[in-house]
Amino acid sequence: MAQYSRVSGTVGLITLQNPPVNALCAAVRQGIVEMLKKALSDSKVKSVVICGQNGIFCGGADIKEFGMNMSGPPLVQVIHAIEDANKPMVAAIEGVALGGGLELALGCHYRIAHSKARLGLPEVILGLLPAAGGTQRLPRLIGVPAALDLITTGRHVIAAEALQLGIVDQVTDHKTVDAAVKLAQSVAGKPLDARRISTYPCARPSDLDALFEGEMQKVRQRARGAIAPVACVQAVQAAATLPYTQGIEREKELMVTLFTSGQARALQYLFFSQRAVSKWSTPSGARWDTSKPGPIHKVAVIGLGTMGRGITVALAQTGLSVVAVETQEKQLMGAKKAVSNMLEQGAKRRGVAPTLDKISYSPNIQAIADADLVIEAVFEDMALKKQVFQQLAAVCKPGTFLCTNTSSLDVDQLASQTRSPELVVGMHFFAPAHVMKLLEVVYGPRTSPQAVATAMELGKKMGKVSVAVGNCQGFVGNRMLKLYLEQAFFLLEEGATPELVDRALEEFGFAMGVFRMSDLSGLDVGWKVRKGLMLGETDVSSGQSARIRQGCRYSPLGDLLCEQGRFGQKTGQGWYQYDKPGGRVASSDPWLHSFLESYRAKHGLVARHIDHQEVLERCLYAMINEGFRILEEGIAAGPEDIDVIYVFGYSWPRHRGGPMFYADMVGLAKVLERLEHYQQAHPDVPYLQPCSLLRRLVASGSPPIQRWREVIKKPHSQL
């Protein structure tokens, strides 16, 4: 797990060996201790280099170990032993030095990094803090403000920035280990006292209290209930105000609290889930490791509205050739300008050249004839999309993958318009498509494994977190969202206000409550969808109540607002009011409150007191219950897929892991009991009936989420 050799006669070389990222598991830590002893006791060795095998220094502590009983020498002590060494220790950083990996390097007396290396302390993203001395050494090395930035955000820096900040002493474009050996030779025999970071005083800015107060406010606002960023600030504050040994004690104390918290469990679950979803499988047995993606060099985008423009930008940024087609000339010109602007802005931010020349624009669909893959992004209308797919089938070369960006329509119906339904697959991007990380890859019953693999691979190239899901109304994300929104509407009917519902959800950790979010995305979007599903208009002829559609409870509140022209922020009025159309700051709207009162009076509804707990249970458990149905039907392969979709596509608070993880945390029996309660109270809402998978899981003793797949029966599939 760590190897020792002597190179160039006088340099001891310790190589970390734990593929794929040389994580610091117990055996590696033990190995470092033993190899260090060897190097320090070898009289020929004058200085020591630590490196990692396969071009990666170290990806940090072994996250898998966090869920187990920890054994082996503690990392803090390993790093102290390195720092205390009486021969110069040099870290040779290639690939990454992250978390415990960077802390290990900070224990060394010198650090040299390859120009392409990335360094950082991303523990906060895992619900932790850099507890192997990172919160105490980094501020001593680079100052409090810069350390606070890196530790509270977990962002990675590339070698050039690390050099500028003072984290590394040298950057090289050549072989890092060779350069490190040279450096080690040059510093052999030099005094080390001034190189031990733990002995440095921590530079204290004059306005220290104000600095920490401001930082605390900033992270609390950004973190929305996450405890790790707050603990990170407290730990750095200890570095700035206490001697090193006391600071280390404080670091440990804060880490113990985080380490045993549900938030750390949630965030570490999310880390592994994000990686697990790339190893997709379908109910028919198609898998990521047996399905080869097709070669993609040229991609076409059809329809340059908001979604098409974002997709074009995201594709061009990968370096692929893109043909962007929009039949309306005026729209085409507008799109070209908008796409170029987005590319230029993105390139400026990333310090690279914009890839404008990767895109050709055309009003003519014939221009896509030689594309390897086409993404249709026209208006969300089945008839129109069918027409486009017929055209694609006629124009494209054989073997072209045909993808649709529909957010809820039946992918199989579109596949039926072509001669090769096996090449048709959904690629559901989220707005803005060049920014949002999530991509739902939707396979229909006839989609080939190769088409799924190709869409997943393209998503990866575009930097997306891609999740393969089955074909059903709304797929995974929007299918669950529908119930969340509906419950929020019902709560308004029963006596809640948009402010109350939003406050409950925002305190839970959502950046925006459901009504604020609807105002932002536009109330007319959902209205159009409901109209498409024949839900948005009262069936007067059949004499049905406005509050019952297709035999179930329905709330027309959203439709009524749209009928008044209240589409949200864009019209200056929605569930809230804004100072002007396009205004951003929501304020309570007396009109809306009296509208709700008269609505209730008209329908004989008596407002009752609704508390935050009920808001959370009604909105979240309804959607979780649908999540269980999705699992039972095999639409999602596992709970991780649903949770990744919700965190990356629907701003579910990360520190709560995702809706299915949250259900696990709350306790499945409790979720079941509350659903039974609400189902009895609202028999006209059939989806509150607890899903049989949830009942089976509870009957099986509520196994932890990692074992749910054992209980989920394999459903049938035609893929």
Ligand X SMILES: CCCCCCCCCCCCC/C=C/C(=O)SCCNC(=O)CCNC(=O)[C@H](O)C(C)(C)COP(=O)(O)OP(=O)(O)OC[C@H]1O[C@@H](n2cnc3c(N)ncnc32)[C@H](O)[C@@H]1OP(=O)(O)O
Length of the chain: 719
Residues near 108 by Cβ (< 8 Å), separated by ≥ 6? Answer: 50, 82, 83, 89, 90, 91
Extract the tokens encoding 316: 């061009």
Cβ distance 411 to 425 under 8 Å?
yes
Q: Is residue 131 within the footprint of ligand X (CB under 6 A)? A: yes
Least distance to ligand X from the beta carbon of 668, Å? 26
Q: Is residue 62 within the footprint of ligand X (CB under 6 A)? A: yes
The residue (of 415 and 439) whose beta carbon lies closer to ligand X is 439
Segment contacting ligand X by CB under 6 A, of 19-27, 354-362, 392-400, 433-441: 19-27
Q: Per the residue annotation, which of 34, 65, 94, 103 is the catalytic one?
A: 103
Cβ distance 689 to 442 under 8 Å?
no
The residue (of 151 and 442) whose beta carbon lies closer to ligand X is 151
Among 255, 365, 501, 671, binds ligand X (CB under 6 A): 255
Least distance to ligand X from the beta carbon of 255, Å? 5
Least distance to ligand X from the beta carbon of 226, Å? 16
The residue (of 124 and 615) whose beta carbon lies closer to ligand X is 124
Using CB under 6 A as the criterion, what x/- string covers residues 260-299 for binding ligand X? x-----------x--x------------------------
Residues near 179 by Cβ (< 8 Å), separated by ≥ 6? Answer: 92, 112, 170, 172
Cβ distance 700 to 692 under 8 Å?
no
The CA-atom distances, in angstroms, between 577 and each of 255, 490, 520 are 44, 21, 12
Among 16, 21, 89, 171, binds ligand X (CB under 6 A): 21
Least distance to ligand X from the beta carbon of 277, Å? 10
The residue (of 134 and 310) whose beta carbon lies closer to ligand X is 134
Q: DSSP class of residue 203? A: P
The CA-atom distances, in angstroms, between 711 and each of 468, 660, 692, 703 are 21, 15, 11, 9
Q: Is residue 99 within the footprint of ligand X (CB under 6 A)? A: yes
Segment contacting ligand X by CB under 6 A, of 123-131, 491-499, 575-583, 689-697: 123-131
Amino acid at 52: G
Q: What three-state secondary structure class fits 459? A: helix
Among 52, 57, 111, 123, binds ligand X (CB under 6 A): 123
The residue (of 235 and 436) whose beta carbon lies closer to ligand X is 235
The residue (of 130 and 690) whose beta carbon lies closer to ligand X is 130
Cβ distance 402 to 424 under 8 Å?
yes
Three-class HEC string of 477-491: HHHHHHHHHHHHHHH
The CA-atom distances, in angstroms, between 289 and each of 273, 450, 459, 639, 706 are 17, 11, 16, 20, 21
Question: Is 103 among the catalytic positions?
Answer: yes
Q: How many residues bind ligand X (CB under 6 A)?
A: 27
Question: Is 123 among the catalytic positions?
Answer: yes
Three-class HEC string of 60-109: CECHHHHHCCCCCCCHHHHHHHHHHCCCCEEEEECCEEECHHHHHHHHCC
The CA-atom distances, in angstroms, between 487 and each of 40, 490, 555, 568 are 66, 5, 9, 19
Q: Is residue 63 within the footprint of ligand X (CB under 6 A)? A: yes
Q: Is residue 67 within the footprint of ligand X (CB under 6 A)? A: no
The residue (of 270 and 359) whose beta carbon lies closer to ligand X is 270
Least distance to ligand X from the beta carbon of 269, Å? 12
Q: Is residue 60 within the footprint of ligand X (CB under 6 A)? A: yes
Catalytic residues: 103, 123
Residues of the shown chain interacting with ligand X in the complex, contacts defined by CB under 6 A: 20-21, 23, 59-64, 75, 96, 98-100, 122-123, 126, 128, 130-132, 255-256, 259-260, 272, 275
